[in-house]
């Protein structure tokens, strides 16, 4: 079973990396960019029995820093 | 003073820190590997050095905070043992929840390595007793993720409780309220981004950091 964890900065937390990407995109001539926020995507390959609670705990304990980040868990459909 | 320096894979200021402790304290610290689950008995101080623990993968200090030795450090901190985290050590202490807030990428994106002026905000702690409140000192900084952030309520509490130990005299890395170093509630844990251990002897070009270690000796009843 594949699980994707998206880790993103909380709203209101300044994102220096997103800002740098924003500037770089504008430097390339792309117009109309209002904001850029950078985050992380972590893919986990888990035993089929792994429960939501376990993944939540992984996020809170290590994958996200709850002071500045949020996480979102996405379960991938098993390949047919 | 009985001290220990924790060493993670990727630590690179551990020997500088050990040398500063030996030079000022007159006694070499124990070097404790990250896999140890216990610290040497009878410690007065545990120091967490700068560097790039575990390659700073995921987030600076995140992996190190989960290492066996950090559980022992947390227990020691709860017993009142002095804990000093410098640079990556500060990042580890926030990730281990021994200090509030988080250290994010510098606002200017670039790594910053230079001397910076700091204001000593609190001269009442074991770490800062040898400084005068409001005094300006200069320590080197060398970091990529030194941008201290916390929510407004936490920042207000830190300020209100006198837990901001050091503040940058000017803007350096985007840190909220120019905070460079903070204390825990009990005052026995200090984390700071600048490097006092790199300013303890004439050959370093300045000795402003020396008094931090002297203050610790005094705090444990062995004045230098």
CATH number reported for the structural domain that contains residue A21 in this entry: 3.30.1280.10
Residue B32 has pLDDT above 70, yes or no: yes
Contact state of B62 with A65 under an 8 Å Cβ cutoff:
yes
Q: How confident is the model at residue A79 (pLDDT cuts 50, 70, 90)?
A: low
pTM of the model: 0.94
- In this structure, is residue A80 part of a structural domain? no
Alpha-carbon distance values, A59 to A1, A17, B69 (Å):
17, 22, 22
Rounded to whole angstroms, the Cα distance separating B157 from B145 reads 23
Does residue B87 have an active-site annotation? yes
Using CB atoms, pick whichever of B102, B109, B174 lies closest to residue A65. B102
Strand A2-9 and strand A40-45: the pairing is antiparallel
Examine the pLDDT at B224 and tell me if it is beyond 70.
no
Residue B71 to residue B36: CA distance in whole angstroms: 10
Distance between CA atoms of A28 and B66, rounded to whole angstroms? Answer: 41
Q: Which residues of A touch B104 (CB under 8 A)?
A: 13-14, 16, 68
With beta carbons less than 8 A apart as the criterion, state whether B126 and B219 touch.
yes
Residue A66 domain flag: yes
Largest CA-CA distance found in chain A, in angstroms, rounded? 48
Closest residue of chain B to A9, computed from CA coordinates: B104
Predicted pLDDT of residue A50: 81
Looking at residues B95-116, what average pLDDT do you find? 96
- B46 has pLDDT over 70: yes
Query: Does B87 or A16 have the greater pLDDT score?
Result: B87
Of the candidates B8, B212, B201, the residue with the CA atom closest to the CA atom of residue B92: B8
How far is C-alpha B178 from the chain's CA centre?
Answer: 16
Structural domain tally of chain A? 1
The residue annotated as part of the active site, out of B13, B87, B95, B143, is B87
- Of all residues in chain B, what percent carry a pLDDT higher than 70? 99
Across the range A12-34, mean pLDDT stands at: 94
Distances (CA, A) of B39 to B4, B14, B153, B218: 8, 16, 34, 22
Q: How many CB pairs under 8 A join A and B?
A: 37
Residue of A nearest to B65 (CA): A62
pLDDT at position B9 over 60:
yes
Q: Flag whether pLDDT at B223 surpasses 90.
A: no
- Distance separating alpha carbons of residues B179 and B167, to the nearest angstrom: 5
For chain A, say whether B67 makes contact (Cβ under 8 Å).
no
Task: Render pLDDT for B163-186 as a digit per residue (tens, 0 to 9).
Answer: 999 999 999 999 999 999 999 999
Does the predicted interface ipTM exceed a cut of 0.95? no
DSSP track, A21-43 = HHHHHHHTT----------EEEE
Residue pointed to by tokens 């984390």: B191
Do A41 and A8 meet the contact criterion of CB atoms below 8 Å apart? no
Q: Which domain holds residue A59?
A: 2-75
pLDDT tens-digit profile of B122-139? Answer: 999 999 999 999 999 999
The CATH number of the structural domain formed by B3-219 is: 3.40.50.880
Question: Which token pair is B169?
Answer: 């005299």
């Amino acid at each position: 079973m594949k699980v994707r964890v998206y880790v993103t900065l909380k709203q209101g937390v300044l994102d220096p990396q997103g800002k740098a990407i924003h500037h770089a995109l504008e430097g390339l001539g792309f117009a109309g960019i209002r904001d850029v926020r950078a985050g992380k995507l972590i893919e986990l390959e888990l035993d089929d029995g792994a429960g939501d609670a376990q993944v939540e705990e992984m996020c809170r304990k290590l994958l996200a820093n709850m002071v500045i980040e949020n996480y979102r868990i996405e379960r991938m459909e098993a390949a047919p | 003073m009985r001290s220990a320096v924790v060493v993670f894979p990727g630590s690179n200021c551990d020997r500088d820190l050990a040398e500063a402790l030996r030079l000022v304290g007159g006694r070499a610290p124990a070097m404790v590997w990250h896999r140890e689950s216990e610290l040497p008995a009878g410690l007065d101080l545990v120091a967490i050095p700068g560097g790039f623990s575990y390659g700073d993968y995921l987030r600076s200090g995140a992996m190190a905070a989960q290492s066996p030795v950090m559980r022992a450090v947390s227990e020691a901190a709860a017993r009142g043992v002095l804990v000093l985290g410098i640079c990556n050590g500060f990042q580890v202490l926030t990730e281990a929840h021994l200090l509030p807030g988080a250290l994010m990428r510098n606002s200017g994106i670039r790594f910053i390595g230079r001397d910076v002026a700091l204001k000593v905000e609190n001269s009442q702690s074991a770490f800062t007793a040898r400084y005068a409140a409001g005094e300006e000192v200069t320590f080197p900084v060398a970091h990529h993720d030194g941008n201290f952030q916390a929510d407004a309520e936490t920042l207000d509490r830190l300020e209100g409780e006198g837990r901001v130990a050091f503040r940058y005299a000017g803007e350096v890395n985007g840190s909220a309220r120019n905070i460079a170093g903070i204390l825990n509630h009990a005052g026995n844990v200090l984390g700071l981004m600048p490097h006092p251990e790199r300013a303890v002897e004439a050959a370093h070009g300045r000795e402003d950091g020396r008094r931090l270690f002297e203050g610790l000796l005094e705090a444990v009843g062995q004045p230098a």
